[in-house]
């Protein structure tokens, strides 16, 4: 299969996965909110974030595995690939044992530390059920998924996930209508996802001549500590906000955060879909040493990132609060009208997404050790500012902490790429950033002030979404024609001629 055809297939299937994930992500929490209320939704979000703390034990091995798989896959050195997979399998199985112990402790302690209306037994059993998906992922799935992703078989992972999510959503709707019990609801979902490693294992056995009798790669485990800081920074970004809000503000405000996060996470996943599909190409280009082709592709991919992220998050900034108001129209146990928080969290995620091209090359180059200090600083800024501000500003304080941390790390990654990797001028980043940031801000302000949504109905929201999207898309196309003609030509050749 030609490499550009594979890349296109990866992009299409990954985008499809994110769309399916977003749709499911809105349906299932809505069912939980409507059937069980905000406190139950907040409890589930809080427990899931605490369960995700096990990612810290991984110590960054996931990223190190991906970086180390590129060269042996290019060289078809399957003995080396087998050694890496065997090493990671062994390590992740040990993590799964630690995870079981951690889950039991969390299930016992959580209901004792947090004041809720739920019984100890209710929270204990729900915690165990919610842990099943993560256990299956660490014990059976991660090594296999890393191999497929590194070998540009992202579409296999995406298609598997699409099938499981669709099945999960359809069955979830039926179960919650027939048996409105949150434990049964979540248990059936966990059982469905247990088939994921079976599918991956079947495909890999059929297409990869992996060897069983190989030694483990001890250096790989040593290198994971170079990726530990990166792992911590990502973990803090993804898994601490609801924990902080649960501790300082309670489960109902955690539910407010989680509903806004549904929108933001959905858009973030769509944008990341591009880089999940394209980053293996960047990794292999860096491994091949073709600096000219790497620079050319980087310019194009960065332009795509700017265009897509500022368009998606810009439209969301004008529509997120009206959407949440409609989504929670029958929920009155807490105030979901938080427009300032909505805009701030969108800004934070925009800063996170636009650095993806820069972090992708750093990870592909195995530069985890060199960028770990800034990653630690990012995590400290996020936690410290959030904890300092949340008692007075609530969820807005958490959003401010995230904005500051994301901005710092993004600027560092831009500087690091120029200084240590491909000597790319910072002005190229600033040109794209300022052009799209200024145009997006102006159009969003124009839409919110001059063309506001006065009545919160579904049809009114949809009509304004089309209007806002059209205005912002036209503006971005104009900016592109004026400032990014070279990137547009390269993108056209890449898509049409498969250059």
pLDDT of residue 426: 81
State residue 157's pLDDT score: 87
Residues ≥6 apart with Cβ < 8 Å to 296: 490
When comparing pLDDT for 34 and 480, which is higher? 480
Give which of 264, 308, 268, 233 is closest to 399, Cα–Cα.
264
- Kindly indicate the confidence band of residue 290, based on its pLDDT and cuts at 50, 70 and 90: low
Q: Cβ(295)–Cβ(264) under 8 Å?
A: no
List, for residues 230-249, the tens digit of each pLDDT value.
666 666 666 678 778 878 88
Global pTM reads 0.69
Q: What is the pLDDT of residue 1?
A: 45
Confidence of residue 228 (pLDDT cuts 50, 70, 90): low
Q: Above 50 in pLDDT, residue 53? A: yes
Mean pLDDT of the chain: 82
For the segment 25-45, the average pLDDT, to the nearest whole number, is: 83
Pick the range with the lowest mean pLDDT from 60-74, 83-97, 128-142, 304-318.
60-74
In the chain, what percentage of residues exceed pLDDT 90? 18
Long-range contacts (CB closer than 8 Å, 24 or more residues apart) made by 92-99: 92/58, 92/61, 92/138, 92/139, 92/142, 92/143, 93/138, 93/139, 95/54, 95/57, 95/58, 95/138, 96/135, 96/138, 96/139, 98/54, 98/57, 99/54, 99/57, 99/131, 99/134, 99/135, 99/138
pLDDT: is 96 or 397 the higher one? 397
pLDDT(438) > 80: yes
User: Does residue 471 surpass a pLDDT of 90?
Assistant: yes
Confidence class for position 340, pLDDT limits 50, 70, 90: very high
- Going by pLDDT thresholds of 50, 70 and 90, the confidence category of residue 94 is confident
Tokens 């990954």 sit on residue: 14
pLDDT over threshold 50, residue 454 = yes
pLDDT tens, position by position, 384-424: 999 999 888 888 999 999 999 999 988 988 888 777 667 77
Report the half-sphere exposure of 481 (CA within 13 A, side-chain side): 6
**Annotated domain spans of the chain:** 1-224, 227-499
* pLDDT of 499 higher than 50: no
pLDDT over threshold 70, residue 61: no
Task: Give the separation between CA 206 and CA 194, rounded to whole angstroms.
Answer: 20
CB atoms within 10 A of CB 388: 13
When pLDDT is averaged across residues 458-481 and rounded to a whole number, the result is 93
User: Average pLDDT of 175-199?
Assistant: 87
From 220, 240, 187, select the one nearest 85 (Cα to Cα).
220
pLDDT at 57: 65
- C-alpha dihedral (129, 132, 135, 139), degrees to nearest 10: 150
pLDDT over 90 (residue 178): no
């Amino acid at each position: 299969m030609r490499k550009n055809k594979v890349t296109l297939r990866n992009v299409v299937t990954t985008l499809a996965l994110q769309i399916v994930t977003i749709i499911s992500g809105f349906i299932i929490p809505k069912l939980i909110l409507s059937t069980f209320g905000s406190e139950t939704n907040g409890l589930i979000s809080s427990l899931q974030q605490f369960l995700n703390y096990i990612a810290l034990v991984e110590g960054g091995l996931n990223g190190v595995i991906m970086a180390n798989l590129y060269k042996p896959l290019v060289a078809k050195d399957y003995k080396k690939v087998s050694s890496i997979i065997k090493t990671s399998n062994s390590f992740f199985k040990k993590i799964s044992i630690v995870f079981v112990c951690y889950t039991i402790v969390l299930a016992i302690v959580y209901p004792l530390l947090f004041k809720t209306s739920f019984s100890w037994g209710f929270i204990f059993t729900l915690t165990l059920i919610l842990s099943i998906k993560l256990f299956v992922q660490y014990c059976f799935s991660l090594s296999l998924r890393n191999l497929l992703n590194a070998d540009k078989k992202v579409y296999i992972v995406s298609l598997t996930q699409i099938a499981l999510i669709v099945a999960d959503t359809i069955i979830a709707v039926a179960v919650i209508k027939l048996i409105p019990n949150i434990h049964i609801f979540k248990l059936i979902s966990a059982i469905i996802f247990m088939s994921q490693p079976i599918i991956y294992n079947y495909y890999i056995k059929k297409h990869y001549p992996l060897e069983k009798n190989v030694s483990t790669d001890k250096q790989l485990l040593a290198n994971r500590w170079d990726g530990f800081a990166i792992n911590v920074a990502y973990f803090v970004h993804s898994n601490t906000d609801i924990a902080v809000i649960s501790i300082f503000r309670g489960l109902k405000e955690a539910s407010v955060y989680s509903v806004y996060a549904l929108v933001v996470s959905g858009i973030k996943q769509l944008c990341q879909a591009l880089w999940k599909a394209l980053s293996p190409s960047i990794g292999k280009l860096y491994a091949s040493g073709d600096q000219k082709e790497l620079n050319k592709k980087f310019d194009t991919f960065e332009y795509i990132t700017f265009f897509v992220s500022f368009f998606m998050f810009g439209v969301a900034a004008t529509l997120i609060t009206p959407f949440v108001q409609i989504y929670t129209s029958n929920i009155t146990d807490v105030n979901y009208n938080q427009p300032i928080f909505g805009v701030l969290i969108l800004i934070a995620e925009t800063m996170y997404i636009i650095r993806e091209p820069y972090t992708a090359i750093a990870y592909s180059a195995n530069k985890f050790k060199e960028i770990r200090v800034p990653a630690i600083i990012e995590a400290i800024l996020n936690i410290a500012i959030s904890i300092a501000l949340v008692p007075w500003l609530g969820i807005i304080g958490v959003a401010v902490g995230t904005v500051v941390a994301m901005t710092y790390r993004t600027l560092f990654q831009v500087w690091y790429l120029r200084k240590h990797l491909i000597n790319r001028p910072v002005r190229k980043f600033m040109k794209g950033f300022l052009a799209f940031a200024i145009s997006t801000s102006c159009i969003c302000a124009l839409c919110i002030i001059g063309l506001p949504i006065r009545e919160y109905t579904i049809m009114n929201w949809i009509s304004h979404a089309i209007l806002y999207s059209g205005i912002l898309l036209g503006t971005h196309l104009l900016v592109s024609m004026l400032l990014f003609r070279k990137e547009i030509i390269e993108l056209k050749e890449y898509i049409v001629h498969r250059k």
